[in-house]
Chains A and B, each alone.
Chain A
Amino acid sequence: MIEVAIVLLPLAGAIIAGFFGRLIGNRGAQLVTCCLLGLSAILSIVIFVDVALSGNTRVTEIFTWIDSGDLELSWAVKLDTLSAVMLLVVTVISTLIHVYSIGYMAHDKSIPRFFAYLSLFTFFMLALVTADNFVQMFFGWEGVGLASYLLIGFWYDRPSANAAAIKAFLVNRVGDVGFALGILGTFVLFGVVGFDQVFGAVSGMADTNFVFIGIEGHALTIICILLFIGAMGKSAQLGLHTWLPDAMEGPTPVSALIHAATMVTAGVFMVVRLSPMFEYAPIALQMVTYVGAATALFAATVALTQTDIKRVIAYSTCSQLGYMFFAAGVSAYSAAIFHLMTHAFFKALLFLAAGSVIHAMSDEQDMRKMGGIWRLIPVTYGVMWVGSLALAGIPPFAGFFSKDMILEAAYGAASTHGMFAFWLGVAAAFMTAFYSWRLLLMTFHGQPRADAKVMAHVHESPKVMLIPLLVLAVGAVFAGYVGYEAFVGEGRVDFWRAAVLVLPGNDAIAAGHHVPTWVKVIPLVMAVAGIGLAYVMYMLRPGLPAALVARVRPLYLFLLNKWYFDELYDAIFVRPARSLGANLWRSGDGALIDGVGPDGIAAATRSLARRASRLQTGYLYHYAFAMLVGVAGLISWYLFSQVG
């Protein structure tokens, strides 16, 4: 039952810290959540060895959840290589982030609440990755959305944090509609929601059509596109990415958790988990590839111009997720998960290091106000280098192995969308290296641009923050090298077993191992070139960026404003919705429902009451008159109605 414990221990931590935080105090809450999650991480290692390395894949049913008519499903923990990898990544990274948070959030007012949310977030993610049916996955999926809302809006007294939290929640809802429709479509098509049953029946349904919103189409394609829309929302792909940069309003450990271990990886995980369905929906896979590649490039271009240290890293996440998606799109699912794993390490590292910088700079996030601090915080500086090298894809750091594999697979797929993804990916790799070094150089080198008071206060973070950084740095160095053989190398068939399905003829990874040498070299060349360019622009000729900006100002503004996505959405969706709401509120609710309804009836009653009491004049002859009129009226009415 250790798999059940892995999932439930973080929940227990969340409940204890959340409901009894006052009782056990800050220290108690930190201790309980960190220990329980640490235990969960250790158990995950055991499970990883047992399941992924020894091949004991299994499904552990906890209890029947719904048994109604045709719908039958259980709470269960599905263990195969895919979920074992995810369990390991999620629990390890989350544990490190928990520990880091002890130092980072030391001065916060509501520490137990923070740790409760972190653990809750982790629990939902674990429930998601261990689901053996669509409905449990949806539960985890929505739970992750909820927890992200709570954490992004953790500092609820800041309007910007609330706005960001609501934005994240709403944008995710858009994707979730797609996901929910996809699940319903699956149920309509297959009549079951268990993964194993559905996957077993997929090949028989490969040619089935059904009608969706009046359009008859290939059933699996429609379902897979709907599911992918859900993944786009959760994983911040182009179009539904706008929430991710704003999510920076949460505390930095939250950003690390969202970007590395939980939440955004859910979309990639889902596509890989459902690989048996996507394999039979080639058009959906093409769409995944195009969207992923476009996101990879788009986010990289935006990251070039951002000045907020966390936003740069946020857009880099967006970009890297694009890589993962187009890897999945060319059927290189294992490469996608491989990159997910390595990315988890170096992205968590980058975020936590950025948090350490922000911590040192007295909560300053603008890179234009940093610089010249590398000697003051050497450990942070060092791990930032490691993270950037890994991100840029310099060997032998983790990102090199996974990103190269993805690009090779994209080339090896030998299809239009594969080539599209390959070239966009190469371009994005160049930009990635450039903005990574731009970040490094602006933050740590050059003349100090912060004021003297801040500079005097710059200090290395406490050990409780540095140790997780160092652990993650080790992961960022070695994860790629260690994992390569098993994840995407020769041992991959034995490693993955039935966890992912790749149809014969779609095996882009195999093809990726046999691409021309220039294909293998070009990403590295691009990365080095990007680093070199950044070095020239920000170290050797510091005036160059400004001059360049002056030359191509419209392009710069276009990138700086994130391709005007927010403005576009504001004009298309937000403002019409607001004005519709305001109109309905004023005229519909205020004037019509309140005015005619409660207020109107009350006013009418009052005015009738006034008139009724005015009838009572006090004059005797009025009273007598009323009586006579009354009797006359009754008689006449009677005569007219009955006799006449």
Chain B
Amino acid sequence: MIADDLMIVLPELLLAGLATILLMFGVFRGNRSTPSVLMLSVAGLAVVFAVLVLRPGAHGDAFGGLFVADGFAVFMKALVLIGSAATMIMSLRYFERKQALRFEYPILMLFATLGMLMMISAGDLMSLYLGLELQSLSLYVIAAFRRDNLRSTEAGLKYFVLGALSSGMLLYGASMIYGFAGTTSFQALAAVFAETMVAGEAPSVGLVVGLVFLIAGLAFKVSAVPFHMWTPDVYEGAPTPVTAFFATAPKIAAMALFVRVVMGPFGDFVGQWQQILVVISIASMVLGALAAINQTNIKRLMAYSSIGHVGYALVGLAAGTEAGVHGVIVYMAIYLFMNIGTFACILCMRRKDVMLEGIDDLKGLSKSNPLMALVLAIFMFSMAGIPPLAGFFGKLYVFLAAIESGLYTLAVVGVLSSVVGAFYYLRIVKLMYFDEPGESFDQPVGGEMVVILVGAGAAILLFFVFPAPLLDGAAAAAAALLAG
């Protein structure tokens, strides 16, 4: 019995063990060992990835339904692992140059990743909170990782305080749900709600209020409006590799959790939460598009960009259908690659070993570094949603799902705000290609950056040629979620 459970949670077990061992290793060897700890962490993530993907049969519930392993979880975990590993690789040289190498950094990222995997597989409000807090606590620390830097510590503190607030809301919501439904297990909740639906009764007000609080807590994690306020400040203040990490893996994990909660136990109450999600989604898309226009710092711009992207992903979720979930999964996967690539570019923005964050620093990049300009242009066009790049298809699927569900207003607002949003993405392209160049950035950027840039760029550029792996995988994942 317990052996079966352990087999199901094998990837998480491996990751937890690895993190602990590397922590000991680091403690004994000191900061000198950071590069090796980091490389070992990446290798460990690769192993976990392999274990995760190569055991398709190991699905099922573990520990009495606290932990769920299904196709959806596997797919989202794979994305999270890719995001974690890529951002980890990108951060090595950054910290070397800043002489801020600390072996705790990769360890904390590993623990955060572990938290994310737990979130994705949460089958109970308790395990949901467990995973969420493991992730959040690690992220609070690494946001403030450059503790001698004022902005970094400010970012960490802000994130911590607001995160605590959101956790409080989430817990409050969870407690209300428990109070009105009498259980915290998703399966049991689903059964209770199904009974209510069969009986033709409306869900009790307290239950829905609890759901709203729960959604508020989750919306904070995906940084959807109006729970987004931390995002620009933290993105700007945190060290750039940390920002890259924030923008990728946790977003995917939080979105996966979001999907699992509202589609799983609350799936029968689509009518109840759909409107809330529509409001959040519209607000996120519009604010993400508008507020980014005035930004001069590219990390802040990426913060608003991610707010906007979360809005688009929520369009798919708001549809509340399998097609919608499929759209969300596709969207988040494409979002992951676009963001990894873009942040890799941002990490390459340095002149005489000084990191640059101004959008204007990109002026004339096409002349000083044509390859990087080309790749960044691909990412920008993709984020703007211009065919035939991947970003276009991401938007296409969520909007299609919304239209099929009759959410025309949502789709129209989404399309309009993506038009507005295209402005600031295209402005970057314009700066790179049509403005007079400043000094060129430092060369070379490093082999691992080139690999990441080219890989992410190729994935975005060639998606429309080989869409099947992602689309089929996402379809299977969506089907698995709704079947379970």
**B226 on interface, CB distance cutoff 8 Å:** yes
Chain B residues within 8 Å of A620, by CB: 157-158, 161-162
**A606 on interface, CB distance cutoff 8 Å:** yes
Cα separation A608 to B162 with both chains bound (whole Å): 26
Contact A609 B290 (CB under 8 A): yes
Chain B residues within 8 Å of A637, by CB: 275, 279
Chain A residues within 8 Å of B226, by CB: 626-627, 629-630, 633
**B213 on interface, CB distance cutoff 8 Å:** yes
B256-312 residues with Cβ-Cβ distance < 8 A to A are 272, 275-276, 279-280, 287, 290-295
A583-628 residues with Cβ-Cβ distance < 8 A to B are 605-606, 608-610, 612-613, 615-616, 618, 620, 622-624, 626-628
Contact A627 B275 (CB under 8 A): no
Name the contact of A605 in the complex, choosing from B157, B165, B295, B420 (C-beta under 8 A).
B420
- Which residue of chain B lies nearest to A610 when distances are taken between CB atoms in the complex? B294
Cα separation A325 to B293 with both chains bound (whole Å): 70
Segment from B87-95, B102-110, B204-212 that makes contact with A:
B204-212
**A638 on interface, CB distance cutoff 8 Å:** yes
Contact B162 A624 (CB under 8 A): yes
Chain A residues within 8 Å of B158, by CB: 620, 623
Contact B275 A612 (CB under 8 A): no
**B229 on interface, CB distance cutoff 8 Å:** yes
**B249 on interface, CB distance cutoff 8 Å:** no
B 296-338 to A, binary, CB cutoff 8 A, 1 in contact else 0: 0000000000000000000000000000000000000000000
**A515 on interface, CB distance cutoff 8 Å:** no
- Which residue of chain A lies nearest to B224 when distances are taken between CB atoms in the complex? A630
Contact B290 A623 (CB under 8 A): no
Cα separation A59 to B149 with both chains bound (whole Å): 94
B 175-216 to A, binary, CB cutoff 8 A, 1 in contact else 0: 000000000000000000000000000100100110011011
B212-263 residues with Cβ-Cβ distance < 8 A to A are 212-213, 215-216, 220, 225-227, 229-230, 232-233
Chain A residues within 8 Å of B227, by CB: 626-627, 630-631
Chain A residues within 8 Å of B216, by CB: 627, 630-631, 634
Chain B residues within 8 Å of A638, by CB: 208-209, 212, 272, 275-276
Contact B230 A623 (CB under 8 A): yes
Chain A residues within 8 Å of B275, by CB: 637-638, 641-642
Cα separation A19 to B166 with both chains bound (whole Å): 74
Chain B residues within 8 Å of A635, by CB: 209, 212-213
Chain A residues within 8 Å of B232, by CB: 616
Chain B residues within 8 Å of A616, by CB: 229, 232-233, 291
Contact A612 B165 (CB under 8 A): no
Known: A627-B227, A631-B216, A634-B276. A618 touches B291 (CB 8 A): no
Chain B residues within 8 Å of A610, by CB: 294
Distance in angstroms from B361 CB to nearest chain A CB is: 20
Chain B residues within 8 Å of A624, by CB: 161-162, 165
B209, B216, B226, B280: which has the most chain A beta carbons within 10 Å?
Answer: B226
A610, A631, A642: which has the most chain B beta carbons within 10 Å?
Answer: A631
Known: A627-B216, A635-B212, A638-B276. A609 touches B169 (CB 8 A): no
Name the contact of B293 in the complex, choosing from A609, A626, A633 (C-beta under 8 A).
A609
- Which residue of chain A lies nearest to B213 when distances are taken between CB atoms in the complex? A631
Cα separation A630 to B226 with both chains bound (whole Å): 6
Chain B residues within 8 Å of A609, by CB: 290-294
Chain A residues within 8 Å of B290, by CB: 605, 608-609, 612
- Which residue of chain B lies nearest to A630 when distances are taken between CB atoms in the complex? B226
Contact B165 A613 (CB under 8 A): no
Contact A613 B294 (CB under 8 A): yes
Name the contact of B229 in the complex, choosing from A605, A623, A634, A639 (C-beta under 8 A).
A623
Q: What class of interface size applies to chain B in its complex with A? A: 35 or more
Q: Is the interface of B mostly helix, strand, loop or mixed?
A: helix
Cα separation A641 to B212 with both chains bound (whole Å): 14
Distance in angstroms from A599 CB to nearest chain B CB is: 15
Q: Is the interface of A mostly helix, strand, loop or mixed?
A: helix
A 530-556 to B, binary, CB cutoff 8 A, 1 in contact else 0: 000000000000000000000000000
Contact B212 A631 (CB under 8 A): yes
Contact B291 A627 (CB under 8 A): no
Contact A612 B291 (CB under 8 A): yes
**A568 on interface, CB distance cutoff 8 Å:** no
Known: A627-B165, A635-B209. A613 touches B276 (CB 8 A): no
Contact B287 A612 (CB under 8 A): yes
Contact A605 B293 (CB under 8 A): yes
**A215 on interface, CB distance cutoff 8 Å:** no
Chain A residues within 8 Å of B225, by CB: 630
Distance in angstroms from B434 CB to nearest chain A CB is: 19
Contact A615 B276 (CB under 8 A): no
- Which residue of chain A lies nearest to B272 when distances are taken between CB atoms in the complex? A642
A201-257 residues with Cβ-Cβ distance < 8 A to B are none
Known: A627-B216, A639-B205. A613 touches B295 (CB 8 A): yes
Cα separation A615 to B226 with both chains bound (whole Å): 11
Cα separation A543 to B205 with both chains bound (whole Å): 112
Cα separation A459 to B139 with both chains bound (whole Å): 98
Chain B residues within 8 Å of A572, by CB: none
A608, A616, A629, A633: which has the most chain B beta carbons within 10 Å?
Answer: A616
**A643 on interface, CB distance cutoff 8 Å:** yes
Distance in angstroms from B430 CB to nearest chain A CB is: 15
- Which residue of chain A lies nearest to B227 when distances are taken between CB atoms in the complex? A627
Distance in angstroms from A639 CB to nearest chain B CB is: 7
B 401-424 to A, binary, CB cutoff 8 A, 1 in contact else 0: 000000000000000000010010
Distance in angstroms from A280 CB to nearest chain B CB is: 62
- Which residue of chain B lies nearest to A616 when distances are taken between CB atoms in the complex? B232
Chain A residues within 8 Å of B287, by CB: 612
Cα separation A613 to B289 with both chains bound (whole Å): 11
Cα separation A633 to B220 with both chains bound (whole Å): 15
- Which residue of chain B lies nearest to A633 when distances are taken between CB atoms in the complex? B226
Cα separation A622 to B280 with both chains bound (whole Å): 19
Distance in angstroms from A95 CB to nearest chain B CB is: 54
Chain B residues within 8 Å of A618, by CB: 233
Distance in angstroms from A330 CB to nearest chain B CB is: 69
Cα separation A613 to B424 with both chains bound (whole Å): 14
Contact B162 A623 (CB under 8 A): yes
- Which residue of chain A lies nearest to B229 when distances are taken between CB atoms in the complex? A623
Contact A631 B165 (CB under 8 A): no
Chain A residues within 8 Å of B423, by CB: 605
B161, B279, B290: which has the most chain A beta carbons within 10 Å?
Answer: B290
Distance in angstroms from B148 CB to nearest chain A CB is: 21
Cα separation A643 to B220 with both chains bound (whole Å): 26
Chain A residues within 8 Å of B293, by CB: 605-606, 609, 613
Contact A643 B229 (CB under 8 A): no
Chain A residues within 8 Å of B229, by CB: 615-616, 622-623, 626-627
B377-399 residues with Cβ-Cβ distance < 8 A to A are none
Cα separation A531 to B300 with both chains bound (whole Å): 93
Cα separation A627 to B164 with both chains bound (whole Å): 12
Chain A residues within 8 Å of B169, by CB: 627, 631
- Which residue of chain B lies nearest to A612 when distances are taken between CB atoms in the complex? B291
Chain B residues within 8 Å of A643, by CB: 202, 205
Contact A627 B205 (CB under 8 A): no
Cα separation A628 to B232 with both chains bound (whole Å): 18
Cα separation A52 to B34 with both chains bound (whole Å): 105
Distance in angstroms from A627 CB to nearest chain B CB is: 5
Cα separation A608 to B416 with both chains bound (whole Å): 14
A401-444 residues with Cβ-Cβ distance < 8 A to B are none
- Which residue of chain A lies nearest to B220 when distances are taken between CB atoms in the complex? A627
User: Would you list 26 pairs from A and B whose C-beta atoms are within 8 A, ordered by A residue?
Assistant: A605-B290, A608-B290, A609-B293, A612-B287, A612-B291, A613-B294, A616-B291, A620-B161, A624-B165, A626-B227, A627-B162, A627-B166, A627-B169, A627-B216, A628-B165, A629-B226, A630-B226, A630-B227, A631-B169, A631-B212, A631-B216, A633-B226, A635-B209, A638-B212, A641-B275, A642-B272
3 closest Cβ contacts across the A-B interface? A630-B226, A623-B229, A612-B291
New A-B contacts (6) at CB < 8 Å, excluding given A616-B229, A622-B229, A638-B276:
A609-B292, A626-B226, A629-B226, A631-B212, A642-B272, A643-B202
